[in-house]
Amino acid sequence: MFDEDAKAKAALYAAIFLTLLGYSGRLAGVEPLQSQFFPLAAWAYTLLADNLVYRLSGGSPLITRTGEVLVLALWSLALSAVFELLNLRLGAWYYTGQPATLSTRWTGLALGWAAFLPSLFVTSELLRCLGLFGRLKTPALTITPGVIYFFYASGAAMLLLPLALPRLAWPLIWGAGFFLAEPLNYRLGLGSLLREWEGGLPAKTLRMAAAGVVCGLLWSALNGAAGAKWGYSYPMKAGPELFGLPVFAYAGFGLFALAAYSLYALASWLRAGKTWEEGAWEIPGRRPESAVRYVAWLFFIITSYMALRAVDAHTIRLYIGWI
């Protein structure tokens, strides 16, 4: 319907509009723009970064593969919902300044959750276009059964320890998805960082981790400027801080980025390996049954609804009553 240049211009105008809308609302204290500053700014950044990727490389996730980004946003929402449900046990973060009106509050939360993976993966693509780690090679890693078992054991520990000792071990939850999903991706023929290591190619892994740190800094800065924001229940005080977090804590965002890549690659099995990445290929063999895909849609709906209800009941500490 629209050529890529037209979509690029539309995305750029939308990014400028969202930026002006968010910052004018924040500076003027206009609600609900002030409280919903984070999703507005996060999506504005994603559109701008994607536009830059398109200008640099002639293709980008949003402009060249628009439908894939919509699917990615849905999975971002679903993955965020899973973490919110885990947080019922972890109690690691909470929300303040949320609008009392349910439709405004849920729309803001859903748009914010849906922005995490697109902004993360577009940032990774931008780092690729800038040539970061592009020439780096490492010795090939031999993927033995011992390596596979190590990944499964590490993933299980990173999942179970935070649930058993949330106050002490909750940051480990960010790495559980990476260690549990990677061996499955490798065996199923899906996008796999393990397979990259097997070929002596660490660039994608390092770019994903770097994108996580970049986005972690960005998200923390935007969160600090927003009216509706999240905070951490267990204070982390060690060394110099940046945007309210110790500098060392941003390594956790890098680990989250690796987990996000691996979990989304695993979810791509439902679509025979099709993802947001350029040149993604379909895995050999039979496609999943239609019933499996319907279950995935139910997963989107049910987990998102449960998470929004759970956040309302257990995670929000302060509402803005008149919105």
The set of residues, in sequence order, having a beta carbon less than 8 Å from that of 81 and lying 6+ positions away, is 113, 303, 304, 306, 307, 308
Dihedral sign for Cα 116, 119, 122, 126, please: negative
pLDDT at position 13:
95
Contact 226, 38 (CB under 8 A): yes
pLDDT digits (tens, 9 = 90+) for 167-203: 889 999 999 999 999 999 999 888 899 999 999 999 9
Q: How confident is the model at residue 281 (pLDDT cuts 50, 70, 90)?
A: low
Residue 123 CA to residue 214 CA, distance in Å, equals 8
Whether the pTM exceeds 0.95: the reply is no
Instruction: Give the relative orientation of helices 251-267 and 203-225 as an angle to the nearest 10 degrees.
Output: 110
If we measure between CA atoms, which residue out of 230, 278, 226, 267 comes closest to residue 73? 267
pLDDT at position 300:
84
The first and second tokens of residue 271, run together, are 């679509």
Q: Count the helices and strands in the chain (H runs, E runs).
A: 12, 6
Residue 86 CA to residue 315 CA, distance in Å, equals 12
Task: Tell me the CA distances in angstroms from 183 to 55, 75, 145, 193, one per residue in order.
Answer: 35, 20, 10, 10
Checking if the pLDDT of 223 tops 70, the result is: yes
pLDDT digits (tens, 9 = 90+) for 90-111: 999 999 999 999 999 999 999 9
pLDDT at position 240:
80
DSSP string, 164-175: HSHHHHGGGHHH
pLDDT at position 273:
77
Residue 57 CA to residue 66 CA, distance in Å, equals 16
* C-alpha triplet 258, 263, 265: angle, nearest 5°: 95
Beta 229-232 vs 93-96: how paired, if at all? antiparallel
- Region 33-37 average pLDDT: 93
pLDDT at position 284:
62
Helical spans, DSSP H, in 130-244: 145-164, 166-169, 173-188, 193-198, 203-225
Higher per-residue confidence, 294 vs 123: 123
Residue 53: other Cβ atoms inside 10 A: 25
